[in-house]
Structure 1
Amino acid sequence: MKTDHYIAICVGMMVNAVLFGIGAITVLSIPSLEPYWKYLLPAVVVASFALTPFIARQIAPRLRLRNRRDALRT
């Protein structure tokens, strides 16, 4: 596997936690959604798992040192 894949896996765990947290807090903080919590929370879990790889693949290449050489020179 490429280094970008390893970085994407590590970043993906953090991205998944953030997406789940945002979704869970949003669902649980709206009182009118209380009757639907048992359906919406699993949907948040599935959505966070589905979106994680796409976001992690966008972030991973930017974390490589070779992409920051210009920033380090200044």
Structure 2
Amino acid sequence: MPRTRTLMAGLLALPVNAILFGSGAVLVLSIPQLQPYMEYVLPAAIAVAFALTWPIAWTLAPRLRVRNDYYPNLFRKD
């Protein structure tokens, strides 16, 4: 049975990958000096985005689980 963190990281991996890929592609395509090397740089940016997706999603997953210990006044009713 997968743990909650694993499931949350799996769900987070798709949007994290989309953000990393999009920002990397825009960065690479917006630099005119990279035009001659585009056939090498763009796949490298895609590979870097894919490689960084899982560690970033794994780091963000526990932060989505808000507990009262971290924010004691968040759900307080006055």
Using CA pairs under 8 Å that are at least 6 residues apart, name the structure with larger relative contact order, 1 or 2: 1
Structure 1 portions without partners, runs of 5+? none
How large is the RMSD of aligned CA atoms in angstroms? 1.3
Corresponding residue of 1:46: 47
Q: After TM superposition, give the deviation of residue 2 of structure 1 in Å.
A: 0.5
Return the alpha-carbon distance in structure 1 between the equivalents of residues 41 and 76 of structure 2. Answer: 48
Offset from partner CA, 1:20-64 (integer Å, 9 cap, x none): 111100000011110111101110111011101110011000111
The 5 A counterparts of 1:48-63 are 48-63=49-64
Q: How many residues align?
A: 72
Instruction: Looking at secondary structure, tell me which structure has more helix per residue.
Output: 1
Unaligned residue ranges in structure 2 (runs of 5+): none
TM-score normalized with structure 1 length: 0.88
Instruction: From the CA coordinates, give the structure whose radius of gyration is larger.
Output: 2
